[in-house]
Amino acid sequence: MRPFSFTASMTPVLVGSAVAFGETRFHPGLFAAAFIASVAIHAGANLVNDYYDHVRGVDTPESIGPGGMIQRGLLTPHTVLRGALVLFALSAIVGLILVASRGWPILVIGALSVAAGYVYTGGPVPLGYVGLGDAVVFFFMGVVTTAGAYYVQTAAISRTVLWAAVPVAALVDAILVVNNLRDLDGDRARGKRTLATLIGRAATRTHFLTLVVAAYVSIALGIWLRTVPPLAGLAVVTIPDAVRIWKVIRAETDSQILTVSGIRATAQLHQRIGLLLALAFVAVRLT
């Protein structure tokens, strides 16, 4: 299930819930349910990804990205798929609590999120195989999860939470961009058409840089427009981390270096900026 990746689904829930907390609308039980459902969908999507990448011949024993349980013979492919379905079912059961509290919009959000997690690499036309993976991740793991967590608390959507979702969405997509940059040659050789394989290595690096810059610019503009609390400006302390990551992305082709200093470092940047955003909104209420 790759739990080290779960910050990508935890962070948007924290940010969306923090925006609601800043508006004095917060229910701990609903927060816990949204948190569990988001992580369960993410974990299920990871398993679906491992299953379909294996059966389609994209992942091999030499691949770095997958969990490796199938490739090492520790679990059968169908066991991994069943695990994914169990996790999706868990998210649905927890989601019923949210539906009972907030009504049919949560049912729609949950159903679409589970469907996105499955068709990313599953189904007859997997979106991750036709260059649409970035759009799915940006929208669902960024905008939808952040705004959905806010809706769980408030039964509404606001301009503020949508603005707060932009840096979260940009950076979670940046994680995928580095992943696809690392796997570019292997994916291209096996016929997996990610956006990186379609636009090439140089453009993929530019794509990454654009997303990271967009995250910082959106925070700055949000503060200027008084949509985001001024305390969110603390995100500037992470700029040295972003610069270090960019230096790796710009120059490296080694898979191990891109994994540790690229993918995982970008995930940490996503988490840190998300926590600083959440802190800024929480501080609005506390002060």
- Per the CB < 8 A criterion, the answer to whether 142 and 172 are in contact is yes
Residue 275 has pLDDT above 90, yes or no: yes
Place 53 in a pLDDT band, splitting at 50, 70 and 90.
confident
Q: Mind listing the pLDDT tens digit for each residue in 173-221?
A: 999 999 999 999 989 988 889 999 999 999 999 999 999 999 999 999 9
Q: Which residue has the higher pLDDT, 95 or 123?
A: 95
Percentage of the chain surpassing pLDDT 90? 79
Residue 136 has pLDDT above 80, yes or no: yes
Task: Write down all domains in the chain, each with its CATH number in brackets.
Answer: 3-280 (1.10.600)
Q: What is the pTM of this model?
A: 0.93
Tokens representing residue 222 in the block: 């949000």
- Per the CB < 8 A criterion, the answer to whether 55 and 30 are in contact is no
Rounded distance, CA 222 to CA 129, Å? 34
Q: Mind listing the pLDDT tens digit for each residue in 55-79?
A: 887 776 666 655 678 877 888 999 9
What's the pLDDT at 63? Answer: 66
| Mean pLDDT for the chain overall | 93
Give me the residues paired with residue 130 across strands: 193
Q: Mind listing the pLDDT tens digit for each residue in 18-33?
A: 999 999 889 999 999 9
In eight-state DSSP terms, residue 193 is: B
Residue 158 has pLDDT above 70, yes or no: yes
Over range 84-108, report the average pLDDT: 93
Q: How far is CA 281 from CA 23, 225, 274, in A?
A: 8, 15, 11
Place 238 in a pLDDT band, splitting at 50, 70 and 90.
very high
What's the pLDDT at 202? Answer: 97
